[in-house]
Every structure is written in C-alpha cells, then in structure tokens.
C-alpha cells in the first residue's frame, strides 16, 4: 500500500483529531470553563472525525481478513457516525453528562485505541514508523 490522496486525507484528519480532542475536552473542565473554546475545538474535532470516517470508506485493504476490501477496523465507521449523532442527541435533550461521556468514549475508542492499532507493524502507518522512519523492522 502506498500513500494515496485518500490515505493522506484520512491520516491528516485522524492525527489532527487526536491532537485537538484533548483541548475540546479540557476546555470544559476545572473551575475556569471556556465554552467558546470548547465549542470551537469540539466542532473542529467533529469535522475531523467525519472526514476521517468518510475517507476510510474509500480505503481498502487486502492483508487482514476482509470482505470486499473492508476489514474489521472499518466497523469503526458506523460506530463513529452513531456516537457523534448520539452525542449531539444528548446535547439537544439537555443531557450534558451523556454528551460528555459519549464524546470521551468516542475519543478514546476512535483516536487512541484505533490509532494505536494503526501502529502495528502489519499496517501502513506501522510500516512507515517502525520500518522506514525508525529502521526497526
């Protein structure tokens, strides 16, 4: 697999979402809450997550078990859509705790856990990191 424009968009959006996510979560914590900052980072994070999920629809793999090019990691696409919808549904119904919990779980599951799996040596980003950049594999 090589770095195509779709993979570049997916990779850029995912990395940016991983970096921006904690700022969105942090802006509503502690004694000094920053609602404008929270909304700005939150909307940016949601946009990046949508870009990540939509671009993933166009990335097909052949190494892992797959069905028509879609592997197990592609199951995160509908999960992200449902989670983002659920988070805004909670918000629209005044359930701030549900919104917070949904966004925190979505960040951890999609950015940290799934992002960690992309660093496996068998994945494209893992091959870049461990093989080409660090020369360990």
pLDDT digits (tens, 9 = 90+) for 72-110: 788 899 999 999 999 999 999 999 999 999 999 999 999
What's the average model confidence in pLDDT over 115-124? 85
Residue 99: CB partners within 8 Å, gap ≥ 6? 87, 88, 90, 91
CA gap 93, 102 in Å, rounded: 14
Question: In this predicted structure, what is the pLDDT of residue 132?
Answer: 85
Host domain of residue 108:
5-133
CATH number at residue 45: 1.20.58
How would residue 64 be classed by pLDDT, with cut points 50, 70 and 90? low
Number of folded domains that form the chain: 1
Beta-bridged to residue 67, according to DSSP, are: 70
CA gap 24, 20 in Å, rounded: 7
pTM listed for this prediction = 0.87
């Amino acid at each position: 697999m090589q770095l195509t424009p779709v993979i570049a968009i997916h990779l850029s959006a995912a990395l940016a979402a991983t970096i921006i996510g904690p700022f969105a979560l942090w802006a509503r914590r502690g004694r000094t809450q920053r609602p404008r900052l929270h909304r700005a980072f939150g909307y940016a994070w949601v946009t990046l997550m949508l870009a990540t999920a939509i671009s993933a629809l166009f990335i097909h793999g052949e190494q892992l078990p797959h069905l028509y090019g879609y592997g197990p990691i592609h199951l995160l696409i509908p999960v992200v859509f449902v989670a983002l919808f659920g988070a805004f549904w909670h918000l629209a119904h005044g359930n701030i705790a549900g919104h917070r919990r949904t966004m925190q779980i979505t960040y951890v599951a999609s950015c940290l856990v799934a992002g960690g799996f992309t660093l496996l040596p068998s994945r494209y980003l893992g091959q870049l990191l461990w093989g080409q950049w660090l020369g360990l594999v």
